[in-house]
Structure formats: C-alpha cells, structure tokens
Amino acid sequence: MKQPTIMQLKNDIENCLAVLQTGGIILYPTDTIWGIGCDATNEEAVKNIIKLKERGEEKSMIILLAEEKDILNYINHPNLMIFDYIKGINKPTTMIYSGAKNLAKNVINKEGTIGIRLVQDPFCRQLVKKFGKPIVSTSSNISGYPAPRMFSDIDIKIKKGVDYIVHHRQEETEPSAPSTIIKVNDDGTYVILRN
C-alpha cells in the first residue's frame, strides 16, 4: 500500500481545520472506523451531522481528544482512579463519563454523559491537537444501517453531505472495528458496554 506523503497529510490536516473552524463537517479515518466529525462545541455543526445521518437527537455521539489532561475540561469531578485504568488500555476505547460540560448540548446524552476517546492514531491525534478543541466522531452511516468497515463501504449520500473528505487511508482494504465502550460510574467503578 502506498504511504501518503508528508505534504498530503499536511494538506488533509489544513483542509480539515479550515472546515472545522467554520462549522463544517468532515469525513475522516479514526483509530477505529471512518467517522463523521465536527467541532464538538458547535451546536449548529452537530445538528448538521444529526440531519445528515437521519438520526434521532436523543442518541449520543462521542468526542475525540488527544491528551488525558484535556478530559478535565469536558467533565465535572472525574474520578482520578480512572486515569490509571486508561493508561493500561491498548486498544481504542471510548469511556462514558457523567457530568459533561463545555460542549454543544446536542452532543451530550440526555443523562448528562459524554463518550470520550483519547485517540492514538497519529493523523487524528495531530488533527485534534491542532484544532485545540474536541472533535465529534460518529460512525459514517445513515442511522439504522451498519457502520462501514472501510472507506469504500461508505454511502454516497454521506460522502456528498460532508464539506471535506480526508484522502489519507481511503485505499485501505482491511476492515476496521468500532471501539470498546466502557461506562465510568461516579464511584470509579466501570462497566464494559461493548468489548
């Protein structure tokens, strides 16, 4: 498989940033499956993703962050024991925390929870760091249909409905899998919702 040049990756990052900063939507590869993303603090941008996916507003979305310390900006009173647990995780894992804050209200679950994944993928990590805010990551499918396992499986309606499609990793043929999902309880215990 042909590796992207540094210039191609730089162009993808710059184009994504330009779209995210103006409230647009991107289609991008994550450390799991391809995702539809926007500024997680922009309610209008999140609304556009909900409309594109034809999904109910009550369904929650997850956000991507690059650094563990950034979690403190988006949840109230985190149990610090969970950070030790996060350090030991080797596969992409979305942690669901209660007490979400500083995010678009339509990205937060009605119970006040938010799913956060610390991305390890170099492209995503760099994008989130340069953007300086969390980025929504929701599966790139119309609601009710299975999540595409690779770029070629993504519905044309999704591709036409976003403002920018990342070129990086489009040619990959190895199917991707969604992340593990773990709900963190207020007492620091946790429950695995999807392995």
Q: Judge whether residue 3 has pLDDT over 60.
A: no
Where exactly are the structural domains of the chain? 6-194
Distance between CA atoms of residues 20 and 26, nearest Å: 7
The better pLDDT of the pair 49, 60 is held by 49
**pLDDT digits over 58-93, tens only?**
777 899 999 988 999 999 877 767 777 777 777 888
Average pLDDT, the chain: 89
In terms of Cβ atoms closer than 10 Å to its own Cβ (0-12, 13-18, 19+), residue 43 is: middle
- As its CATH architecture, domain 6-194 has Alpha-Beta Complex (3.90)
Predicted TM-score (pTM) of this structure: 0.91
